[in-house]
């Protein structure tokens, strides 16, 4: 006996769209069939005539209960937690969120995951998972925990090639340590999720713009620019190409140079995957000049029209594999509290 039959809807599948019936047993779809051909009894029949039926979406990049820097150096706040974020996600058709378990010095990776579980277990309406985020100069004994972490089901290791802002010193992982991480993920079936920007260019431009008095957040795209993405993508991708079996998931691709770097490596057969964000393909850096322009910002920044077009092309050709939100859900007053290039709140205030 089936638990649920969904009848009469326009069903979206990888193979096309059509009017089909769906059979569900337990938590699995066991059949997608022509109308009227499911003869098995069902505990519940849902008539969705005139509606569209789509698989649940996955947001592969979300930050719930995430520290938010306070302008002026006050104690950090936190973004919304898993309960309201997952509730909102389900209303939009997203049924899984992938957040981050952040390793802190002095912890094991297992302890970091268990600490993150306190935020999520029993407090989420949808499915969830974690990327494991390492930071700084990762000790050898923590590197040696990567195989066990992958075997436990946490297969993606988040890596920053930059500290992002001057107030976040310690996130950047040196390339020697990244090389060690890639060797371990490659040997044990994992993947590295890379936030790639050129740290020297980013920090130089913070210093330069502050020195010149151009500190308004509307200039943030000059700091987190397309050159930085191009250089950093090519360096980290080349490193991965030289580690047999290393796979990369390049998070929040925002510029044409990033798309090109991924495409060139994929054309050579390397397992390099791109993620973009919906607002990178919808807005340019001109949006920062609008009222409450902070609402359009995350890190890296918005770019130009040619970058938007390249991202659309990347999505249609498969160079860009996923679209995410980089969700950091906050009230409007929190999202717009930062006024400077070095304190504007990142993340998309939605999921």
| Same domain as 65, residue 117 | yes
Going by C-alpha positions, the residue among 195, 184, 118, 193 that lies closest to residue 156 is 193
Residue 144: what pLDDT? 98
Residue 315: what pLDDT? 97
| Same domain as 286, residue 238 | yes
| Same domain as 173, residue 134 | yes
Q: Give, for 19, the enclosing helix (H) or strand (E).
A: strand 16-25
Q: Which of 35, 53, 71 is the last residue of a domain?
A: 53
Over its C-alpha atoms, the chain yields an Rg (Å, rounded) of 22
Residue 75: what pLDDT? 77
Residue 69: what pLDDT? 80
Residue 72: what pLDDT? 73
Identify whether 46 is part of a domain.
Answer: yes
Alpha-carbon gap, residue 183 to 189, rounded angstroms: 10
Identify whether 331 is part of a domain.
Answer: yes
Domain that holds residue 30: 2-53
Residue 156: what pLDDT? 98
Alpha-carbon gap, residue 96 to 179, rounded angstroms: 31
- Parts of the chain with a pLDDT under 70: none
| Same domain as 104, residue 29 | no
Residue 76: what pLDDT? 79
């Amino acid at each position: 006996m089936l638990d649920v039959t969904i009848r009469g809807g326009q069903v979206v599948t990888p193979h096309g769209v059509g009017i089909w019936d769906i059979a569900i047993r337990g938590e699995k779809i066991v059949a997608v069939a022509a109308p009227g051909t499911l003869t098995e009894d069902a505990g519940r029949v849902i008539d969705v005539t005139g509606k569209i039926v789509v698989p649940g979406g996955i947001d592969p990049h979300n930050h719930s209960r995430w520290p938010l820097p306070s302008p002026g150096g006050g104690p950090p706040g936190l973004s919304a937690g898993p309960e309201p974020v997952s509730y909102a996600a389900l209303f939009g058709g997203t049924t899984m969120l992938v957040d981050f378990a952040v390793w802190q010095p002095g912890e094991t990776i297992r302890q970091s995951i268990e600490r993150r579980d306190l935020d999520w277990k029993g407090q989420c309406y949808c499915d969830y998972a974690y990327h494991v985020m390492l930071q700084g100069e990762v000790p050898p004994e923590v590197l040696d925990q990567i195989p066990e972490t992958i075997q436990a089901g946490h297969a993606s290791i988040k890596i920053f090639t930059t500290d992002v802002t001057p107030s976040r010193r310690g996130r950047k992982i040196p390339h020697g340590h990244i090389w060690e991480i890639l060797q371990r993920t490659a040997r044990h079936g994992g993947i590295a999720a890379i936030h790639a920007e050129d740290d020297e260019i980013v920090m130089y431009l913070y210093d330069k713009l502050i020195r010149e008095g151009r500190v308004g957040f509307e200039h943030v795209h000059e700091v987190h620019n397309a050159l930085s993405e191009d250089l950093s993508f090519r360096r980290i991708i080349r490193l991965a190409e030289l580690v047999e079996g290393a796979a990369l998931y390049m998070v929040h691709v925002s510029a044409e140079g990033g798309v090109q770097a991924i495409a060139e490596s994929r054309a050579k057969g390397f397992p390099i995957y791109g993620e973009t964000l919906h607002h990178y393909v919808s807005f340019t850096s001109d949006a920062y000049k609008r009222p409450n322009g902070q609402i359009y910002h995350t890190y890296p920044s918005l770019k130009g029209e040619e970058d938007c077009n390249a991202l659309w092309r990347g999505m249609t050709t498969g160079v860009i594999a996923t679209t995410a939100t980089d969700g950091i859900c906050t009230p409007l007053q929190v999202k717009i509290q930062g006024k400077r290039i070095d304190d504007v709140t990142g993340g998309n205030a939605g999921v």
